[in-house]
Homo-oligomer: A and B are copies of this chain.
């Protein structure tokens, strides 16, 4: 299997086949190189590695994307984290820790996004 095929398979396992299908429909001559970069470099080359499991990779991403102030990608990776077995209780702990290191505004936004994801999935009491 090539790195690209590997990456697409992992992306589908992480975000769902629908996500990949939607992405493929939007592919055009302008964005195909960055889509391949995402599939090959990010998923096929990095996420495909051994050494830490996918749940761990999701958790790292939640921490980084909160620090980097990237709410759209944070939402996707909170969804991915839940898919990869991260519990709601663990998600809460990760985001609480971002408050100390990234500041309360960063953590507040991350909690707001996480709540929307949890509500959509019926995971909020």
Interface string of A20-52 (1 = CB under 8 A from B): 000000001111011001100110011001011
Among B52, B94, B101, contact of A103 (Cβ-Cβ < 8 Å): B101
Interface size on A, residues (CB 8 A): 57
Among B51, B104, B115, contact of A100 (Cβ-Cβ < 8 Å): B104
Which residues does A use to contact B, with CB under 8 Å?
28-31, 33-34, 37-38, 41-42, 45-46, 49, 51-52, 56-57, 59-61, 63-70, 72-73, 88-90, 92-109, 111, 114-115, 118, 124-125
Enumerate chain B residues within 8 angstroms of A69, measured Cβ to Cβ: 68-70
A73 to chain B, nearest CB (A): 4
A52 to chain B, nearest CB (A): 4
User: Are the CB atoms of B34 and A45 closer together than 8 Å?
Assistant: no
Known pairs A46-B96, A68-B106, A72-B108; list 10 more (Cβ under 8 Å). A34-B108, A49-B93, A49-B96, A51-B89, A52-B93, A60-B60, A63-B67, A64-B98, A68-B101, A102-B103
A101 to chain B, nearest CB (A): 5
A26 to chain B, nearest CB (A): 8
Among B38, B59, B68, B72, contact of A56 (Cβ-Cβ < 8 Å): B59
